[in-house]
């Protein structure tokens, strides 16, 4: 299989299984989401927003979806466990008015609220209805080459009162190196003052408790 792949994707049209597996692995960024801190604002059922980030092969599972609550807007705050180069997005919904009609992407603004969406996004897309999860929206990679936090704002749909999303696919590359460097630098910079403070405070703290 390795030899066949060496000739590039154009030669591998016959082996559908391999091509599907390769395509599935390309959409593996859901594995790099820090799910403990993932947020979906205006979701009707708590925790349902997280379920739309799953393997590409499972995008057709209609039992897992997020639906908006008060109006048609949805806002995802997606922290990654490292640095991501985002290359493409798939948004899959129903073939009706609940499908989102627009997507706006923001990078590296943690804990965005709906008030923050007044800002200019890094990139915005007009969406087509995609009930099978087949349409890929390519990002301007230069703008999304060092993303540790992605916010996805869906401001409107095709006319329904609420918005429904079944699957969001994120394609790209992930690296952990950058995040570790940041952690180490912060630690070294703050180690010395902290040590001195601890010496002074610790005896009192023990005495109080």
- Predicted pLDDT of residue 60: 94
Domain ranges in the chain are 20-176
- Predicted pLDDT of residue 208: 44
- Predicted pLDDT of residue 25: 76
Threshold 0.85, pTM exceeds:
no
CATH code of domain 20-176: 2.60.120.470
Buried b / exposed e along 142-154 (16+ C-beta atoms within 10 A)? eebbebbbbbbbb
User: pLDDT tens digits for the chain (209 residues)?
Assistant: 444 444 444 443 444 566 666 666 789 999 999 999 999 999 999 999 999 999 999 999 999 999 999 999 999 999 999 999 999 999 999 999 999 999 999 999 999 999 999 999 999 999 999 999 999 999 999 999 999 999 999 999 999 999 999 999 999 999 984 444 555 444 444 455 555 444 444 444 444 43
């Amino acid at each position: 299989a390795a030899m066949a792949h060496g000739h590039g994707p154009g030669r591998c049209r016959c082996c559908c299984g391999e091509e599907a597996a390769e395509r599935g692995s390309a959409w593996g960024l859901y594995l790099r989401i820090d799910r403990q801190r993932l947020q979906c604002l205006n979701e009707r059922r708590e925790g349902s927003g997280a379920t739309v980030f799953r393997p590409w092969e499972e995008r057709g599972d209609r039992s897992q979806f997020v639906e908006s609550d008060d109006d048609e807007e949805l806002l995802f705050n997606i922290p990654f466990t490292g640095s991501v180069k985002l290359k493409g997005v798939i948004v899959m919904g129903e073939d009706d008015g609940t499908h989102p009609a627009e997507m706006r992407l923001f990078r590296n603004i943690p804990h965005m609220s709906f008030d923050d969406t007044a800002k200019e996004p890094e990139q915005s897309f007009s969406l087509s209805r995609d009930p099978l999860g087949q349409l890929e929206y390519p990002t301007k990679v230069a703008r999304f080459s060092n993303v540790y936090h992605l916010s996805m704002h869906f401001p409107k749909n095709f006319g329904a009162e609420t918005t429904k999303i079944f699957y969001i696919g994120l394609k790209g590359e992930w690296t952990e190196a950058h995040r570790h460097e940041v952690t180490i630098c912060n630690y070294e910079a703050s180690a010395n003052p902290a040590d001195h403070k601890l010496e002074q405070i610790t005896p009192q703290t023990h005495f109080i408790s």
